[in-house]
Amino acid sequence: MTHFLDLHTTDPAALRQMIDSAHAMKAARNGLPRGTRDAEQPLAGHMVALIFEKPSTRTRVSFDVGVRQMGGETMVLSGKEMQLGHGETIADTARVLSRYVDLIMIRTFDEASLLEMAEHATVPVINGLTNRTHPCQIMADVMTYEEHRGPIAGKKVVWAGDGNNVCASFLHAAGQFGFDFTFTGPPTLDPEDAALKFAREKGVRVTIERDPAVAVQGADLVVTDTWVSMHDPESAKERRHNQLRPYQVNAALMNRAKPDALFMHCLPAHRNDEATSDVMDGPHSVIFDEAENRLHAQKAVLRWCLGV
């Protein structure tokens, strides 16, 4: 069974093949009129279940559109409306869905739910975000960097703000794709130790620098994310804003990076909190290419999982 659960548990050669495939599929669609399916229809006859236990715009739409472009069909399921949200176990849900569909994508809270789904499903399972990681997002981010600037290997990526689940997947990507990673944020919001350890053991330079102005020097890519994640309590908002305000990505900070540095944010953003609108809409920003590339990168992930 070929699941796509995380970047650090996927063979780096397979990750590279998926990025290359994503670029090729994007290029093949270049110039096609809107509404046109791909020339190749590798998912014809396939049904994909998209389960959301948390809100989503990009993940939901990009998976749905990607499957349809490749000739497949989808059903979008809300965790709350399934028996899953009313006491049925993940294991039983996995066994039942595997009798109907050819692949399951799930966005859930605990990583344990994703792993239980993968253990009991007899079809491939894709991680559409957990509280711990967001691998599909970072596949799109690596693709986006490379389409603008060439190979990401050896480059310096700086993450400013909360060391959250997206940050953890970026650390996994640093190890797998071979780029250096600097985290700048308050000590209480450091990335998880296991992700830091993974990247370091892969031999890439991983730095924690509390001063954002120092951290971004020489950066090829500056990344941030929302200061309050979907799984964080609303009560944490004020404290987090106070802690994270010094790490806002604004024009002054961006100007300390390399002149050709890119800026990314996986979105949704709270404009003028974690990043100012002049950066988000400015010349360094590739945030909407990044959002588009969720579509192409995930199409490659789907094909890899299904072997088609």
> Which residue number, 58 or 155, has a Cβ lying nearer to ligand CP?
58
Does the annotation mark 284 as catalytic?
Answer: no
Instruction: Name the residue nearer to ligand CP (CB basis): 204 or 264.
Output: 264
110 is catalytic: no
225 in active site: yes
Catalytic choice (266, 296, 303, 305): 266
Tell me how far, at minimum, the Cβ of 231 lies from ligand CP, in Å.
12
Closest distance of CB 155 from ligand CP, Å: 22
The CB-of-45 to ligand CP minimum distance in angstroms stands at 27
The verdict on whether 294 is a catalytic residue reads: yes
Candidate list 136, 225, 243, 303, residue with the active-site label: 225
Q: Work out how close the CB of 142 gets to ligand CP at its nearest, in angstroms, rounded to a whole number.
A: 14
Cβ distance to ligand CP smaller for residue 98 or 226: 226
Q: Which is nearer to ligand CP, 130 or 137 (CB)?
A: 137
Rounded CA gap, 96 and 103, in Å?
Answer: 12
- Closest CB to ligand CP among residues 180, 225: 225
Q: Do 210 and 184 form a contact (C-beta atoms < 8 A)?
A: yes
Does 58 qualify as catalytic in the annotation?
no
Q: CA-CA distance, 108 to 237, in Å (whole number)?
A: 22
Instruction: Please state, in angstroms and rounded to a whole number, the distance separating the CA atoms of residues 139 and 136.
Output: 5
Q: Which residues, 6 or more positions from 260, have their beta carbon under 8 angstroms from its beta carbon?
A: 149, 220
In the complex, least distance from residue 195 CB atom to ligand CP, rounded to whole angstroms: 18
**For residues 82 and 267, which CB has a smaller minimum distance to ligand CP in the complex?**
267
Q: Tokens in use for 303?
A: 């094909």
In angstroms, what is the minimal distance from the CB of 129 to ligand CP?
6
Nearest to 60 by CA among 33, 47, 43, 78: 78
Interaction site with ligand CP (CB under 6 A): 56-59, 129, 137, 266-268
210 among known catalytic residues? no
Q: Which amino acid is at 256?
A: R
Closest among 308, 257, 297, 239 to 62, alpha carbons compared: 297
| Closest-CA residue to 166 (of 51, 302, 6) | 6
Q: β-strands 206-208, 103-107: how paired?
A: unpaired
Give CA–CA dist 37/65, Å, rounded: 10
State how far the Cα of 5 lies from the Cα of 111, in Å rounded to an integer: 9
Point out the catalytic residue in the list 294, 296, 303, 305: 294
Hey, what's the torsion of the CAs at 256, 258, 261, 263, to 10 degrees?
-10
CA-nearest of 64, 47, 43, 63 to 100 is: 47
d(CA 154, CA 133): 23
Q: Which residues are catalytic?
A: 107, 134, 137, 225, 266, 294
